Amino acid sequence: MRLKPVVSEMLSHVGYDAQQRVLEVIFTSGDRYRYKEVPISEYEGLMNADSMGRYMHRHIIDHYDYDRVN
């Protein structure tokens, strides 16, 4: 999956695989997570959000199962 650099206080990179419905993010801390069964509408919402951090807290974190990537 190709991740795009983003301008955010919380995230440094974001990627999305539409076939697998996986959202992958790298936090500014360096931690990398893959969120499962995320609809494309959530990815689009994240990418268009005024605050990606706020969007992550309200729509992604604690709403979707995830794996931490080493």
pLDDT tens digits, residue range 16-32? 999 999 999 999 999 99
The domains of the chain are located at 4-69
3-state secondary structure of 44: helix
Beta carbons of 44 and 28 less than 8 angstroms apart: no
Model confidence at 34: pLDDT above 90: yes
pTM, two decimal places:
0.95
Q: What is the largest CA-CA distance in the chain?
A: 29
Q: How many CA atoms lie within 13 A of 27 on its CB side?
A: 14
